[in-house]
Amino acid sequence: MKILNNKEKAREIYKKGVEIGNAGDVEKALEYFSKAIELDPLYKDAYFNKALALRMLGRLDEARDWFLKGLAIQEKLDLKSLKKEKSNHLK
């Protein structure tokens, strides 16, 4: 039996949230996206889907906040990727 790390657990939970959301239980999907973020705070897709779920539930202010958090995470990851790429080119 394979032991999953937090990042892998977050992806499994996120996928389950997507399935549940697609089946129509947006409230339950929201719980899964929140748990995925707890396990992997840099999992940008979970932020965006949490924002989408909140929007679908009419919680627009919260949706906007989570969307902006997702954008900040994406920017952070993009900068990290650029720095890594730059350092690889300098070698």
Residue 86 identity (one-letter amino acid): K
Q: Give me the helices (H) in 1-91, please.
A: 6-22, 26-39, 44-56, 60-89
In the chain the domains, ranked by start, together with CATH numbers, are 6-89 (1.25.40.10)
Mean pLDDT, contiguous 10-residue spans, the chain (91 residues)? 82 98 98 97 96 98 97 84 62 57
Residue 39 identity (one-letter amino acid): L
Q: Which two tokens stand for residue 73?
A: 């995470």
Tokens 């929140």, residue?
A: 34
What pLDDT does 42 receive?
93
- Full-model pTM: 0.82
